[in-house]
Amino acid sequence: MTRIAAIFPGQGSQYVGMGQDLSEKWNEARDAFSEVDAALGFELSSLCWNGPEDTLRLTEHTQPALLTHSIAAWRILEANGITVEAVAGHSLGEYSAVVAAGGLGLADAARTVCQRGQLMQKAVPVGEGAMAAVIGLDDDRIVSICKACTDELGEPVVAVNFNSPGQVVIAGTSGAVATASDALKEAGAKRVVALPVSAPFHSPLMATAREGLTPTLESLDFKTLSVPLYRNIDAAPKSDAKDIRTGLIKQVDAPVLWSTIINRLRDDGFDTFIEIGAGRVLSGLCRRIDRSLTCYQADTVDSIEKTLSQLGELS
């Protein structure tokens, strides 16, 4: 029996034009963008659809943009009879997952992730933090080398995104990431690629961002989820409002255990995933984790219509 989980992308998947075709075709998408425009007090929709790209890439804009696009696509699927039995989201995408499962309103989530982006950017001055993707080295080896570099330099560098077997992202101070990158190459990593990001997300350097965001998250009225969320911080399925709030607080400066999340969903019987929002990054990671998994996309009009058609054939 097919079991479907919805997965929601995080920062890095954004592009100019995202969601525009959905809003031209479906009221559900148009209403989602209008709701967020009103909540934020500026036309995020125009930024998503027209750019400029450098403004869209600012973290405080990117985060609500990706959230809105994901929820617009989710509402279209929902209106067309698609149901899922679990949700998960990569980093920022966890907010989209919570909104989709009824745990938080879109307007509250949009305001919160806008603040989250501002706090994450302020936590570390531009140029003082860095991230890099490590390709082709065992997870434990990466963790060990990062710890050795941290101990040697007295500056943090840690593994922050466990994306798939052989693909881990590290983050920390610029100097520590550079030192660890050299050590990881010497240890046999196939590639270590510096990422074009403005802050070392999910590293201990984000502690002040977590502290700044905590009062906002504690003030929000979270609801029990309609389906379980497999959390970033521990890959555990949770539905209780308190557990969801705690997970969103802790994930600011904790690693994203994406590979573990997908493996646990698979072990719990989920064999079909819909990536809801911009791009196909998570679909690619799913296939790297387990090639037997089936992945669909809900990004553009074409991809949503294809997904609705294919899932309709399954039912």
Half-sphere exposure of 57 (CA within 13 A, CB side): 9
Active site residue 292: no
Report the alpha-carbon distance of residue 173 to residue 150 in Å, rounded: 10
Q: CB–CB of 241/99 below 8 Å?
A: no
Report the alpha-carbon distance of residue 133 to residue 123 in Å, rounded: 21
DSSP line for 245-308: HHHHHHGGGS-B-HHHHHHHHHHTT--EEEEESS-SHHHHHHHHH-TT-EEEEESSHHHHHHHH
Compute the radius of gyration of the chain from its Cα atoms: 19
- Point out the catalytic residue in the list 202, 203, 259, 283: 202
Active site residue 198: no
Q: Identify each DSSP E strand in 37-105 by its residue range.
A: 86-89
| Residue 103 token pair | 């745990």
- Point out the catalytic residue in the list 91, 96, 203, 259: 91
**CB within 8 A of 67, min separation 6: which ones?**
36, 92, 95, 96, 99, 106, 109, 110, 113
Question: Which residues does the annotation mark as catalytic?
Answer: 91, 202
